[in-house]
Each structure stands twice: as C-alpha cells, then as structure tokens.
Amino acid sequence: MSVKIDVERVGTFTKLADKTAVPGGQGPRLNEDPSLYGRLEEEMDLTLGCENYKDDAYGDRYCSFFDYIKKTTKEGSSMKEAIGADFVSNRRNLIVIAQSAYRIEPMEIQAFRQNGVIFLCDKSDDLQEEVAWPQGHKFERYLTLNEEGKPHDKYEELNTEERFKLVLRTTLKTTAKPPIKVFYAAEIDAVDSKGEYVEMKTTGLRHDVWLERNSLKHYLQSALAKIPYIYYGKKARGRWNHIYRVDKVFTEQIPRDRVNWKKDVCFEQLFNVLDKIKSKLEYDDEALVLKITEEGIFFEPECSKNCIFMDPDFLDHFA
C-alpha cells in the first residue's frame, strides 16, 4: 500500500514562559554570515553562557498549543471543523510511530476521542514535549540573530523563555482507505532570508554511524515540518563541547544516501497505526493506550478519566 504525505503549514505562534501562545511571528532569523559555515576558523564553544541553563519548556505538553487553538478559533464552534483533522498530536509521537517500522523507541501513547477528534499524548511521567539540551540551544544561538538583527554575544546567558512553533496539518493519503489528517505543532530553530525554515543539529558521529543511528529520526523530524534543509554542527573529537565545522544537508537528500530504511515504509507504518487507533475509537469519550515495545505494537483499552492531559477550559471553548 502506497501512502502519500501532504504537509500543510497553517500558522505560527510563540510559546511564552508561562506556556501561553502568541499567534503569528516569524521566528529567529538565520545568521547567514559565511564565516559561520564550512570549516570554522574559530571553534564554537557550546558551554559559554550555559551555567544557569533551565529548560522552560518542561511541563508544556499541550498547554501552549491548546492556547493557540483557542485564540485562533471562534468560541462555540465545532472542534472537528475548527481543527480540520482526525488527530491532534505533537511531532514526536508521529516520529516514534513512523520510525517503529525499523527502529523501536519504547513509548506509551494515550489516545482519547472527544468531539470527533482523537488526541495523542505521551503517557510517561516526563511532561516535556521534547527533551532539550543546552549545547543544542547554544549552537542555535551562534547561527541566529537577536531581535535587533545582530549576532548574539557568545557570552550572553542562555535561556529558553520563548520558543517559536509552526502549526501544521498533515494528510496521509492512500487509494485503499480514506485519508487521515493530523494537526500538530513543531518547534522551529530559524528562518532564512528566503523565508525557509531551518533545522539545526549537533553531532560527533562519523557519517556512516550517523546514517545508521540518527538519519531516520532527523529525516522524519524535518519532513514532518516541511523543512528543506538542516545545518549540522560537527563536534571536535575529544572536545565534545566544541563545533569545528558546520555543514548543510538537504532533507530530501537523506533517504537517497546509504541508509538502511525507506521513507515510504515509515509513512505506511504511520498511516496503518493511526488508522487502527481510529477504528478502535469510534465514539467520543473512548480511550486506549498505544504501546510501542521491542515485542511489538499493542493497543490496550484505557479509561478516559485517566487522560489527564485534557484541559477542561479547552473543551469548553467548543460546542
């Protein structure tokens, strides 16, 4: 079964420290100074300004995304029509499901149906949507401009009080079954002078090891946000907190490399799992837990009262 994926960008918002959302905005501007790319004359020290680092995204889950939805939809409207999708998720859930065709990242995902929409949420005790490391954020600072359009001071204190997010509605299509639509938000690292969104990564792996361990996850992360390219900061051997070169990798070039996976198989896996969840949750207030384990993928009934991530104020916003 061939599955086609159509990723549509529908909006943006800035997540504030209090986990509320400010709709709109363009995100951090990419610093396109040529001296920051290729082999660097001066290594980037990823420890500078990180002494008091704290990840303020912890505990967000859907807080900021729900706030964005409430602020961009009419109160009392139909949730199904306002969201325009079968599922609400975050990008990480979709990545873990899609890559499970080749690589298992053990995870339990709650699925809860309300007003005709199925919400997916990581069931783990860690409420953070995506784990963030100070070295990665520091690398992003080196490659972006501040609010005044100037390079960041490399000694400035690093914080994550605000995050820029892209809102997407992705459609998975096949000729065999009805399409499946997913509504989600994805953090974006930067936007270039042409308005293209950019992903940034650091790595100390040789290329062949990176292909085996990280290429699939990195491809899916960018593909599910329609990001055309990634900047990789290469860490110096024996100096893991220093970047000695920065390389540009085009997202759609990754599957054409010597990878041991196929993107079509991953999108088919994502479609099949979501389709299975949809078939099992036919009515509102039904819930289940999707368990992704080394032994396989399992669907277990769940009491809807255990779906504590749902915000009553969010539900009251809709008819």
Chain segment 172-212, per-residue pLDDT in tens: 999 989 999 999 999 999 999 999 999 999 999 999 999 99
pLDDT at 114 over 80: yes
Q: What pLDDT, on a 0 to 100 scale, did the predictor assign at position 11?
A: 97
Give the mean pLDDT of 93-113.
Answer: 96
DSSP-assigned letters across all residues of the chain: ---EEEEEEEEEEEE-TTS-EEE----PBB---GGGSEEEEEEEETTTT-TT---TTTT-TTHHHHHHHHHTS-TTS-HHHHH-SSEEEEHHHHHHHHHTTT----EEEEEEEETTEEEEEE-SS---SS---HHHHHHHHHTBB-TTSSBPPTTSPP--S-EEEEEEEEEEE-SSS--EEEEEEEE--EE-TTS-EEEEEEE-S-HHHHHHHTHHHHHHHHHTTT--EEEEEEEETTEEEEEEEEEEEEGGGGGGSS-S--HHHHHHHHHHHHHHHHHH--STT-EEEEEEETTEEEEEEE-GGG-TT--HHHHHT--
Q: What pLDDT, on a 0 to 100 scale, did the predictor assign at position 126?
A: 46
Chain segment 211-268, per-residue pLDDT in tens: 999 999 999 999 999 999 999 999 988 888 999 999 999 999 999 999 999 999 999 9
Chain segment 262-308, per-residue pLDDT in tens: 999 999 999 999 999 999 999 999 999 999 999 999 999 988 767 76
Nearest Cα residue to 99 out of 270, 315, 314, 223: 270
* Whole-angstrom distance, CA of residue 212 vs CA of residue 209: 5
Greater model confidence, 25 or 251: 251
CB 123 within 8 A of CB 303: no
Give the mean pLDDT of 97-123.
Answer: 95
Global confidence as pTM:
0.94
CB neighbourhood size of 198 (10 A) = 22
Q: What's the chain's average pLDDT? A: 92
Q: What pLDDT, on a 0 to 100 scale, did the predictor assign at position 127?
A: 46
* Whole-angstrom distance, CA of residue 154 vs CA of residue 36: 13
Residue with tokens 């690398």: 139
Q: What pLDDT, on a 0 to 100 scale, did the predictor assign at position 58?
A: 59
Nearest Cα residue to 165 out of 189, 149, 196: 189
CB 85 within 8 A of CB 119: no
Angle of helix 215-223 versus helix 263-280 axis, rounded to 10: 60
pLDDT at 129 over 50: no
CB 100 within 8 A of CB 92: no
Chain segment 155-177, per-residue pLDDT in tens: 998 877 789 999 999 999 999 89
Chain segment 38-95, per-residue pLDDT in tens: 999 999 999 998 887 776 655 678 999 999 999 999 999 999 999 999 999 999 999 9
Give the mean pLDDT of 101-106.
Answer: 96
